[in-house]
A and B are shown apart, each in its own frame.
Chain A
Amino acid sequence: DQQVKQNSPSLSVQEGRISILNCDYTNSMFDYFLWYKKYPAEGPTFLISISSIKDKNEDGRFTVFLNKSAKHLSLHIVPSQPGDSAVYFCAAVPYGGATNKLIFGTGTLLAVQP
């Protein structure tokens, strides 16, 4: 039962253009959402998050949009840089409880071409 889905396994973008990574979820009981970036041989690194009560959060070149009615979120990277090439994971945290257990999607490999 995949509660968080990233349907695009890969994405290729030209340097300077916008990268849009998508994520869908099936469970309405998520408190907030996060995006992580992962380089080979390294652990995932936190990028940006958004609370379920917001519809947009921006941090420099990274913006996350949340559409609760569609159970969809997206990460926009503008402008894309070659150093952004990595696997991007969408993750969700369920409401309540004492833990911040993360439920991850399967990831999207972003390749930014110079």
Chain B
Amino acid sequence: DAGVTQSPTHLIKTRGQQVTLRCSPKSGHDTVSWYQQALGQGPQFIFQYYEEEERQRGNFPDRFSGHQFPNYSSELNVNALLLGDSALYLCASSTYNEQFFGPGTRLTVL
């Protein structure tokens, strides 16, 4: 079992650009959550996808959007990037309680 995988590992973008991050959940998991971890902070909940629908959303602007595919994999899209979007983006998959995290994608916005 490969666990939760994320791609790419690192990414550098400039302000105003758009970015897409990808996540493949652990085998057997149907729910995917996305978190943003800024430097020196704990992860902050962005949103969660279940059955291809956004089930709950944290306090993030509409520039952050997502998608879940029939195979349960997920994408996180961020439009009009700001310097403050620089962070580690974590994906977590789960079935009920315990969430398993991927290694994250490090996004740097210049």
Contacts and interface: CB of A to CB of B under 8 A. Distances in A.
Interface of A: 4, 6, 36, 41-46, 49, 89, 91, 97-107
A100 B96 contact: yes
A35 to B, nearest CB: 12
5 contacts: A36-B101, A89-B43, A97-B56, A99-B56, A101-B56
Nearest to B3: A43
A41 B37 CA distance: 13
Contacts of B50: 98-99
Nearest to B4: A43
Interface in B26-44: 31, 33, 35, 40-44
A42 B103 CA distance: 4
A84 to B, nearest CB: 18
A53 to B, nearest CB: 15
- Most chain A CB atoms below 10 A, which of B31, B45, B94: B45
Contacts of B94: 100
Interface of B: 4, 31, 33, 35, 40-45, 48, 50, 55-56, 58, 90, 92, 94, 96-104
A107 B55 CA distance: 27
A80 to B, nearest CB: 22
Contacts of A103: 45
Contacts of A45: 101
Contact of A106 (B41, B45, B98, B103): B41
Contacts of B35: 102, 104
A53 B19 CA distance: 42
A47 to B, nearest CB: 11
A100 B97 contact: yes
B64 to A, nearest CB: 15
Given A43-B102, A44-B90, A99-B48, A104 B43 contact: yes
B104 A43 contact: yes
Nearest 5 CB-CB pairs, A to B?
A: A43-B101, A104-B42, A99-B56, A44-B101, A106-B42
Nearest to A1: B59
A54 B33 CA distance: 27
